[in-house]
Amino acid sequence: MSVKPAEQVFSREQFDGILRRRFFYAPSFDLYGGVSGLYDYGPAGCSLQANIIDLWKRHFILEEDMLEVDCTALTPHEVLKTSGHVDKFADWMCRDLKTGEIFRADHLVEEVLEARLKGDKEARGIAHEPIEESEDKKKRKKKVKEIKAIKLEDSVVQEYETVLAKIDGYSGLELGDIIKKYEIGNPATGGPLEPPIEFNLMFETSIGPSGQLRGFLRPETAQGQFLNFNKLLDCNNNKMPFASASVGKSFRNEISPRAGLLRVREFLMAEIEHFVDPKDKSHPRFHEVKDIKIRALPKDVQAAGSTDLTEITLGDAVSTGMIDNETLGYFVGRIYLFMCKIGMDESRMRFRQHMANEMAHYASDCWDCELQSSYGWVECVGCADRSAYDLSVHSARTNQKLVVREALEEPIVVNEFEVDIDKKKFGPRYRRDAGKVEQWLLNRTQCEREDLAAELAKNGKIVAKIPDVAEPVEIESSLVNIEKRERKEHVREYVPNVIEPSFGIGRILYSLLEHSFWNRPEDADRSVLSFVPRIAPSKVLVVPLSSNAQFTPLVTQLTRELRKAHISAKVDDSSASIGKRYARNDEMGTPFGITIDFQTVSDGTVTIRERDTTEQRRGTIPDVIAAVRAMVFEGATWDEGTAKLAKFEGQEA
């Protein structure tokens, strides 16, 4: 139905003008000069976001009977210490001691080297592509003040390109080396920078009036889901596999956020934690997605310094081992389908695998759904296999089991070292350390137990350094016995693995705005946002031909009927011409316009206009509402939905 031209130069100015005028979103606190990385959604943005979330919930939660939870953003230090975020959830930053400016190291390298490559192209007389051009302009304005047309050695160009392809995988040390090697300074002044240091991205606060309980704002919704694992498994009648899901705000104290909604400090996430048996990551519905063709960028291609995409079906990607397992592949497919459903341009979507050294500290494999916009390719969904990492660390820290117990059809025989503790003697002997000593003994692996048994047999005691106990502890053989025994197990107990599709709703919303935006070829000043009806902030604009009083009751009647049919609608009864009112509305992305004119007064019929084609049809109010319902709620096309209506050659004057 869209008549959006295939190729069109992206005008950031026009695009930003619409977002501002129609209040999709705007910088927060701009009355106070704004705070970078914080944005407020206006009515149109709110509604767009709500519709994306609604469809997300239907597509994922309802479709697969996932268990939704809503956990707090405030999180005590200990939880995020255990999860690894206190130590590892950081980016590298460089300071310019002279100006006080702070740069995120990897972004700095990327922007400076890209600018040099552009300068090289200019020197060689090679033109850029239109989208790159605008990206270029933005960056030049923001950081790299001036791109100098300086030709580089061919070998240097090659080196720069390799660095850029691998940019997401460097450590702080490596970034420091690159900055030194390529003499990268403050892009504005050229001044020198301090070597990269780590900056933890979590917002810290303290909980309670004593100031003694350190806390953070969660950087992801996932931890709350892991901590509730036992309750959720119980809710699911102990059946595996199952998934939990959560939609909520997360917070990351980005070093120097730019790029609008794509890099913000407070954002809405929608995350799924699919708990699965580590021995069986097949998925019963994988066949439903196996023929979907994705554009993939696997890790070995990137490691070789290339960004060439491979078209491959999910069936092949899983069977060749490019994607590790069926469940991961299934969710990649579901993500792809979701993006198509909300109207994303699939030619600007790719799935990029994380390189080993860029993976989050908890992940064992990860595929990002990246969407292309004027800012380049940006991760909008991560789909990670977090293995048993999170459940294991929380369980170890709290000494509480986070496991699945499964009755075995055939009991199995196990030969293992077992630890028997004489609890009666432990208390008097170790006093307040008794619990720690006991837990330490019970937490030993089979190998360690074998060594301890040997030590006990040889020396009649164990001497051990136990965490949180000041002195080395002696444990005599009268207190503990460690020996290998055979036993039958009727129950299998395991820590599930977790497959985590994690959606950045703001990034998806922004990408969708760009993918939906175009100008009418016949009039470059008239822009359109071609949202699919399901997602559009408002579905119908009601337009009385003029301010004639005869139209007022008809407007009231029509909006009442629309509300009854659960169709969100706006009225524009301003004095602007019909054409102007529709043009304004095209900028809001409202798919349908209904005009009330003098013929409506006499015969009760109205015209309905389709936003992209500006085609019009005419029919009675009930027929037109039925058509809108079919197109909004049942996915009917314009031709299908309006089949019963008469063609109408209207005037958009």
Instruction: Pick one of 124, 148, 249, 465: the residue that binds a second copy (CB under 8 A).
Output: 249
Minimum CB distance to a second copy, residue 574 (Å) = 6
Instruction: Pick one of 18, 19, 52, 79: the residue that binds a second copy (CB under 8 A).
Output: 79
Judged by CB under 8 A, does residue 565 bind a second copy?
Answer: no
Instruction: Pick one of 231, 405, 465, 490: the residue that binds a second copy (CB under 8 A).
Output: 231
Tokens for 468, please give them. Answer: 């949180």
Judged by CB under 8 A, does residue 39 bind a second copy?
Answer: yes
Q: How far is CA 172 from CA 36, 129, 167, 168, 180, in A?
A: 24, 32, 11, 11, 12
Q: Which stretch binds a second copy (CB under 8 A): 45-53, 151-159, 299-307, 358-366?
A: 45-53
Rounded Cα gap, residues 307 and 323, in angstroms: 17
Report the residue number, 401 or 490, with the smaller CB distance to a second copy. Answer: 401
Cβ-based neighbour number of residue 411 at 10 Å: 13
Q: How many residues does the chain have?
A: 653
Minimum CB distance to a second copy, residue 22 (Å) = 8
User: What 8-state DSSP symbol labels residue 616?
Assistant: E
Tokens for 251, please give them. Answer: 């917070």
Judged by CB under 8 A, does residue 560 bind a second copy?
Answer: no
Q: Report the Cα 488 to chain-centroid distance in Å.
A: 45
Q: Which residues, at least 6 apart from 314, have a Cβ–Cβ distance to it below 8 Å?
A: 286, 289, 290, 291, 292, 294, 323, 329, 330, 332, 333
Please check whether residue 246 is in contact with residue 69, taking contact to mean a CB–CB distance below 8 angstroms. yes
Footprint (CB under 8 A) of a second copy, residues 162-201: 199
Judged by CB under 8 A, does residue 634 bind a second copy?
Answer: no
Footprint (CB under 8 A) of a second copy, residues 359-398: 394, 397-398
Report the residue number, 574 or 637, with the smaller CB distance to a second copy. Answer: 574
Q: Which stretch binds a second copy (CB under 8 A): 187-195, 204-212, 315-323, 351-359?
A: 204-212
Minimum CB distance to a second copy, residue 229 (Å) = 9
Contacts 24+ apart (CB under 8 A), 595-601: 595/543, 595/544, 595/545, 595/650, 596/542, 596/543, 596/544, 596/545, 596/551, 596/554, 596/555, 596/558, 597/545, 598/545, 598/550, 600/551, 600/554, 601/550, 601/551, 601/554
Tokens for 559, please give them. Answer: 């909006």
Q: Which stretch binds a second copy (CB under 8 A): 31-39, 299-307, 427-435, 442-450?
A: 31-39
Instruction: Pick one of 347, 443, 478, 574: the residue that binds a second copy (CB under 8 A).
Output: 574
- Among candidates 234, 256, 229, 259, which has minimal Cα distance to 244? 229
Footprint (CB under 8 A) of a second copy, residues 85-104: 93, 100, 102
Please check whether residue 334 is in contact with residue 320, taking contact to mean a CB–CB distance below 8 angstroms. no
Report the residue number, 213 or 408, with the smaller CB distance to a second copy. Answer: 213
Instruction: Pick one of 224, 298, 315, 504: the residue that binds a second copy (CB under 8 A).
Output: 224
Please check whether residue 645 is in contact with residue 617, taking contact to mean a CB–CB distance below 8 angstroms. yes
Binding residues vs a second copy (CB under 8 A): 23, 26, 28-32, 35-36, 38-43, 45-47, 49, 62, 67-76, 78-79, 93, 100, 102, 199, 203-210, 213, 215, 217, 224, 227-228, 231-232, 234-235, 237, 248-249, 251, 253, 255-256, 265-266, 394, 397-398, 400, 563, 568, 574
